[in-house]
Each structure stands twice: as structure tokens, then as C-alpha cells.
Amino acid sequence: MAHTAARLMIDTVRSGLALIGILTFVANAAFGALDVPLDAYRSAAADGATGTVAGRAVDEADRRAAADEPRVGLAVTLVPRSRALLDELGGIKRRLRSEPSTYPTSARAVVQARRTYERALAAAGAGDLVRYTPGSVDGTFQLEQVPVGDWLLLVEHAVFKSKPGPIQGRQEWQTFRKQEQFLGYYAVTFWLEEVRVSRGDTATVELTERNAWMTGIEEKRTPDAMPPRRPAR
């Protein structure tokens, strides 16, 4: 019994090490060696050389006398500046303009690029340098105790647009039942800002529709085929 338990523990450790190796390989394949001075960020944090990143996102009013409306539901990510990540994101934006077929997956491509970079940082033992915060109901956000240095701020705001497909009849169901049903899409606005953090200072950004970096979408479909729906009475 003891031998079996020990063997199980060894296999578990091996599986965990294999998973770490796979994640490291995926991250390195995407970004190669990290082009980030991690030691500089760590030293700044250890020395207490930190600052704050704060911002606000609004929908500007159409009329001069009206007040701007805050953007509610922001997702705010702050990561060390990486030229490789900027190049990857720039390529996504260029393809969006030159290849319209990439539009339905453009938002997902940006998120995947960010997550891949975050995994690369985690694999390098710098996962603590990935900072995240949701926006407040008034459209503001704030990240404190950020080590001095150059950072990338990526802010996302998604709105779901319901566009369900037409109601299927029985014949259509029998013919097309294996196909996913289109439900709608998320329209995602992205802001990408390069931010320099100085000791004791607050770096502030103002985000509006006019200075958005990119707008993409992610289509949503049913995970499985759906039977015919009854018309609404």
C-alpha cells in the first residue's frame, strides 16, 4: 500500500512537471525569450519604488450640455512593457484591416495574445507582475504599488449584441440539426496604452471612444445543435 501511494505521488509530481513544461514551451514558442527586464521590476518593488496607475473610461455625451456616461464593466490589465507583445497585437490589428475574415475572431485573438504573455511571465516566475482590476461603476480604476518602469495597460469593455438566428421549422431541424446556432456577438472595445510609472507619482489615462485602440467582436453560438423553437405567442 505504501509503495502504491509513493508511486502515485511520484506520478502526480511528474504530471505536474510535465504540465509546467508544456506551458513554458507554449509561452516561449509565442514570445521567445522574454524581452522584459524582470530584475529591474523586482528590485523596484523590493526598494519600495512604486507608483500608481489610474484612469477613467466614459462615453462622451452627444450634446454639449449633457454629462459623459461612465463605461461600466471594464476589465483592466497592466503588464510589463514587451515589444514582442506590442508586435503581436499590432499584427492582429493589421490583419483585421486587411483580412475581413478575421473580424469574427478578432477580440478573441487579442485576449489570447494577452493570456499567452501572462503565461510566459508566470513561467519565468514573474506572475506577480500581472496586475488586474475591474473598473468601478463610475468608470474609474486604480492600480497601486506598481513598480517603477514601463508598462502596458490593456483595457477591455464588452457589450453583448443579441442576434439570434431565425426560428427553425421541423424540416430545417432535420436537415441542419448538426449545425451550431448563432446567438449574437460581443462587441469589444480595447484601449492599449504605454504607461511609465515613476516613484510616488500617479500615471493617469482618460479613455473614450475616440482614443480606443481597436474594436473587435467575438461571435457566440450554442455549444450544441438546438431543436426547433416554438414561435412566441
- In this prediction, residue 183 carries a pLDDT of 76
- Give the three cell numbers for residue 151: 508598462
Kindly give, in sequence order, each residue whose CB lies less than 8 Å from that of residue 39, ignoring residues fewer than 6 positions away: none
| Mean pLDDT of successive 10-residue stretches along the chain, which has 233 residues | 41 39 42 86 97 94 74 96 97 94 92 97 96 96 98 95 63 57 84 98 96 90 52 37
Domain architecture of the chain: domains with CATH? 33-221 (2.60.40.1120)
- Give the three cell numbers for residue 81: 512593457
Largest CA distance in the chain: 78
Enter the pTM of the model: 0.75
DSSP string, 81-148: --HHHHHHHHHHHHHHHH-GGGGGGHHHHHHHHHHHHHHHHHHTT-GGG-EEEEPPTTSEEEEEEEES
* Region class of 125: left (phi > 0), else alpha (psi between -120 and 50), else beta: left
d(CA 7, CA 20): 20
Whether the Cβ atoms of residue 31 and residue 116 lie closer than 8 Å to each other: yes
Write down the residue that cell numbers 438566428 correspond to: 165
Kindly give, in sequence order, each residue whose CB lies less than 8 Å from that of residue 106, ignoring residues fewer than 6 positions away: 92, 96, 214, 216, 217, 218
Whether the Cβ atoms of residue 51 and residue 197 lie closer than 8 Å to each other: yes
Q: What angle do CA 122, 127, 132 make, to 5 degrees?
A: 130
Estimate the crossing angle of helix 83-98 against helix 2-31, to 10 degrees: 70
First-to-last alpha carbon distance for the chain, in angstroms, is 65
Count Cα neighbours of 74 within 13 Å in the Cβ-side half-sphere: 30
- In this prediction, residue 67 carries a pLDDT of 77
DSSP string, 40-86: HHHHHHHTT-EEEEEEEEEEPPSSTTSPPEEPPS-EEEEEE--HHHH
